[in-house]
């Protein structure tokens, strides 16, 4: 397995871990999808109550607890009938399962510890050992399937690495980028303000000139 594939699997596995923690802390949350992305992973949820980044430390703590019990990802092929029973309270999972079944694709469930998810695969062999460090980064609204006619879900973004060192380096790089963006924004704001001042000066000059012309005109008419 290449390093990229291994990192991809690690991050997708961490998305499972996030969903497991969310379900324990916020029962009745509906799960949508949880892919790995270039910078980490995300998972889309429909929460009963809105979620904020203030909840992240609690969720991360729960993820760390659950990870201790995850020694593998066990694959099981299931039929659409079994899927309908197993995921009866998960409308987003069911919608995807029905489509997969219609297209003749296999339906698979992956289980780690007590958590299972409908998924196509691509996981760490030994999540407890391989997921060395993770961090939740942000939450944003995301329409189900990217369609604004659908419900707005909460997308939690995070990242994960094999080691704490790699995670720390990545977070430091993010902080530096943020600092540069802030600085750039400040410079642009100042430039805009200076431009605005120049514009106001020009408008004032034009007005004064116009008034002067009108006054002159009125004066010549009254002569």
Task: State the nearest-atom distance from the C-beta of 123 to Zn ion, in Å.
Answer: 6
Note whether 119 binds Zn ion by CB under 5 A: yes
Place of tokens 């050992």: 129
Nearest to 93 by CA among 120, 117, 121: 117
Question: Is the CB of residue 19 less than 8 Å from the CB of residue 63?
Answer: no
Task: State the nearest-atom distance from the C-beta of 45 to Zn ion, in Å.
Answer: 15
Calculate the alpha carbon distances from 118 to 10, 31, 86, 201 in Å.
17, 10, 10, 64
Question: Is the CB of residue 43 less than 8 Å from the CB of residue 18?
Answer: yes
Query: What tokens were used for 64?
Result: 């760390």
H/E stretch holding 134: strand 133-143
Backbone angles phi, psi at 201, to 5 degrees: -60, -45
Interface map 60-99 toward Zn ion (x if CB under 5 A) = ----------------------------------------
Size of the site for Zn ion (CB under 5 A): 1
Adjacent-strand bridge partners of 46: 30
| Region binding Zn ion by CB under 5 A among candidate stretches 56-64, 76-84, 91-99, 113-121 | 113-121
Which lies closer to Zn ion via its Cβ, residue 76 or residue 198? 76
Q: Specify burial of residue 101 (Cβ count, 10 A radius: 0-12, 13-18, 19+).
A: middle
Note whether 18 binds Zn ion by CB under 5 A: no
Question: Is the CB of residue 22 less than 8 Å from the CB of residue 29?
Answer: yes
Q: Which of residues 124-153 bind Zn ion (CB under 5 A)?
A: none
Which lies closer to Zn ion via its Cβ, residue 128 or residue 171? 128
Which lies closer to Zn ion via its Cβ, residue 95 or residue 175? 95
Which lies closer to Zn ion via its Cβ, residue 86 or residue 174? 86
Which lies closer to Zn ion via its Cβ, residue 5 or residue 198? 5
| Rounded Cα gap, residues 169 and 82, in angstroms | 44
Which lies closer to Zn ion via its Cβ, residue 20 or residue 119? 119
Task: State the nearest-atom distance from the C-beta of 63 to Zn ion, in Å.
Answer: 15
Task: State the nearest-atom distance from the C-beta of 179 to Zn ion, in Å.
Answer: 35
Task: State the nearest-atom distance from the C-beta of 108 to Zn ion, in Å.
Answer: 9
| Binding residues vs Zn ion (CB under 5 A) | 119
């Amino acid at each position: 397995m290449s390093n990229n594939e291994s990192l991809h699997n690690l991050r997708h596995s961490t998305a499972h871990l996030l969903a497991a923690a969310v379900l324990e802390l916020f029962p009745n949350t509906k799960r949508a999808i949880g892919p790995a992305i270039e910078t980490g992973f995300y998972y889309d949820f429909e929460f009963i109550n809105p979620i904020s980044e203030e909840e992240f430390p609690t969720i991360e703590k729960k993820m760390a607890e659950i990870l201790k019990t995850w020694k593998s990802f066990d694959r099981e092929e299931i039929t659409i009938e079994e899927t309908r029973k197993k995921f009866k309270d998960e409308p987003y999972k069911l919608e995807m399962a029905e489509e997969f079944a219609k297209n003749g694709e296999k339906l698979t469930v992956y289980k780690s510890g007590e958590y299972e998810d409908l998924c196509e695969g691509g996981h760490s062999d030994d999540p407890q050992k391989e997921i060395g460090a993770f961090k939740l980064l942000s939450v944003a609204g995301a329409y189900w399937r990217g369609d604004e006619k659908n419900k707005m879900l909460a997308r939690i973004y995070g990242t994960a690495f094999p080691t704490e060192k790699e995670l720390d380096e990545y977070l430091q790089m993010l902080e530096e980028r943020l600092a540069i963006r802030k600085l750039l924004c400040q410079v642009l704001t100042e430039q805009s303000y200076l431009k605005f001042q120049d514009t106001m000066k020009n408008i004032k000059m034009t007005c004064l000139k116009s008034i002067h012309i009108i006054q002159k005109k009125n004066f010549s008419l009254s002569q």
